[in-house]
Amino acid sequence: MTEFIAQLIAWLNIPMNALGRYLLAPTITHLPGWLSNTVISAVMGILLLIIFKYTSDQRAIGEIRDGIKADLLALKLFKDSVGLTFRLQGRLFRAAFYLLAYAVRPMLVMILPVSLVLSQMALWYQSQPLQPGERTIITMQLSGTATDPWPSVKMASLPGEVITGPVRIISQRRICWDVRINKSDEHNIVFDVNDQRLAKSIAVGEGFMPVSVMRPGCRWKDVLLNPLEKPFPPQSLVQGIDLVYPDRPGRAAGSDWWLVYFFIASMVFALLFKPFIKVRI
């Protein structure tokens, strides 16, 4: 089941990568980080608001909202009646629960597309590319157990030089290299594993570039979080190749902070456009 989910996400990543290349890339590369994230957040906030409108029971939500307003007004008018106050408060809690229940279906509809879009945005905002001459650690994860035979692994092509490695971590079935990358651009590092050529992308340069931290194996979580490169099949000797990239500075478009900014900005724009779209939440 896990492998099926990973394969399904890998298929979905193909059109999402095209979306990122033709829609996200022009916005992110031509605008300052804070502005590009703001534009994307605004568009996503409005789109999610429209999805919520057409996947939720707007009539029922409207009736509950009207009931809440009536109960709040009654609390002000009859605040001296202790028994009525407790009954109204109970109705308010029950109404809040119903609103939450009516939001479940839209959330289930939105969770997958939102996750796929966020994984595309993470390629640009979560890490920054290496600088020419900067060192990094490359780690290859092999399948099997510590007692299994080790395959023949060589680094066939590298846009730089190996400082240290390969270093084998026997207990974890990992091979590590400390390398220095010399050339700016998007490159492929090519490995020879038992005479089979395997590639891993690497981003080197200034500004915003799509950065793929890992070429994943068959774990669905890794495939979702690393959409740019084709995952290794379950029967592959290699089940992951990752690189260490530096964090991107900044609050609106920096590592981890970009996600907080996205959620805040998208909610703000959704609230601003809610009266125009005529949706009840």
pLDDT tens-digit readout, 234-250? 999 999 999 999 999 99
What local confidence, expressed as pLDDT, does residue 81 receive?
78
Q: Mind listing the pLDDT tens digit for each residue in 21-55?
A: 999 999 999 999 999 999 999 999 999 999 999 99
Q: Is the same domain home to 186 and 261?
A: no
What local confidence, expressed as pLDDT, does residue 212 receive?
96
- Domain that residue 178 falls in: 135-243
Rg (CA), the chain: 25
Strand order in the sheet with 196-204: 153-157, 185-193, 196-204
Q: Is the same domain home to 178 and 262?
A: no
Q: Is the same domain home to 85 and 143?
A: no
Cα(198)–Cα(190) distance, integer angstroms = 6
Q: Is the same domain home to 173 and 86?
A: no
Cα(259)–Cα(223) distance, integer angstroms = 19
Q: Is the same domain home to 184 and 226?
A: yes
Q: Is the same domain home to 190 and 239?
A: yes
Query: For residue 162, which of 193, 189, 124, 186 has the smallest C-alpha distance?
Result: 189
Q: Which two tokens stand for residue 41?
A: 């957040």
Q: Is the same domain home to 18 and 121?
A: yes
Torsion of CA 207, 183, 26, 225, to 10 degrees: -80
When mean pLDDT is compared across 34-43, 68-77, 124-133, 168-177, the lowest value belongs to 68-77
Per the listing, tokens 């890998």 go with 10
What local confidence, expressed as pLDDT, does residue 281 receive?
86
**Rounded to the nearest 5°, which phi and psi values hold at 76?**
-70, -40
Strands (E), 143-249: 153-157, 160-169, 174-181, 185-193, 196-204, 214-216, 238-243
* 248 within some domain: no
Q: What region, left, alpha or beta, does residue 205 occupy, with left being phi > 0 and alpha being psi -120 to 50 degrees? A: left
Per the listing, tokens 């945005």 go with 121
Cα(57)–Cα(205) distance, integer angstroms = 49
Q: Which two tokens stand for residue 145?
A: 């157990």
* Start-to-end Cα distance in the chain: 35
Q: Which two tokens stand for residue 273?
A: 């456009």
Assess contact for 251 and 259: CB atoms under 8 A: no
Q: Is the same domain home to 68 and 102?
A: yes
| Band (185; pLDDT cuts 50, 70, 90) | confident
- The stretch 266-279 carries a mean pLDDT of 94
Q: How many CB atoms lie within 10 A of CB 70?
A: 12
- The stretch 208-222 carries a mean pLDDT of 94
| Band (140; pLDDT cuts 50, 70, 90) | very high
Residue 79 pLDDT > 80: no
In percent, how much of the chain has pLDDT > 70? 100
Query: What is the average pLDDT value for the chain, to the nearest integer?
Result: 93
The more confident residue out of 147 and 44 is: 44
| Band (85; pLDDT cuts 50, 70, 90) | confident
Q: Mind listing the pLDDT tens digit for each residue in 96-114?
A: 999 999 999 999 999 999 9
Count of structural domains within the chain: 2
